[in-house]
Amino acid sequence: MRGLPELMLGAGLVAIGFATGGSVFHGSPSLLDACFDGLGLLFVGRGLLLLVRRAPGAASSGASVPNGEGLSPSRHDPGPERDIIG
């Protein structure tokens, strides 16, 4: 599952910093602490984004749907009911 390793890596970076006392979440950050926490949060955000995009119920564009299924009716052929004049 793509996205889960990034999520775990980011959570691990933040957790290690928090456990050792070198985290911006403890209230006395240094520049190095801020960099590692920022990197951890970046990986957490990227992992969550990848998981949400790969979710089974996630919306997809019409180009990725085979045979045009799932497209809105306005993008389909108008059909015989709209061809009748009068």
Residue 47 domain-assigned (yes or no) = yes
Residue 27 domain-assigned (yes or no) = yes
Residue 67 domain-assigned (yes or no) = no
Residue 35 domain-assigned (yes or no) = yes
pLDDT reading at 42 higher than 50: yes
Domains in the chain: how many in total? 1
Please give the pLDDT value at position 57: 67
pTM, 2 dp:
0.59
Residue 31 domain-assigned (yes or no) = yes
Residue 11 domain-assigned (yes or no) = yes
- Quickly count: other Cβ atoms within 10 Å of residue 4's Cβ: 13
48-78 per-position pLDDT tens digit: 999 888 777 655 554 454 555 555 555 555 5
Domain that holds residue 49: 1-56
Burial class (CB in 10 A: 0-12, 13-18, 19+), 29: middle
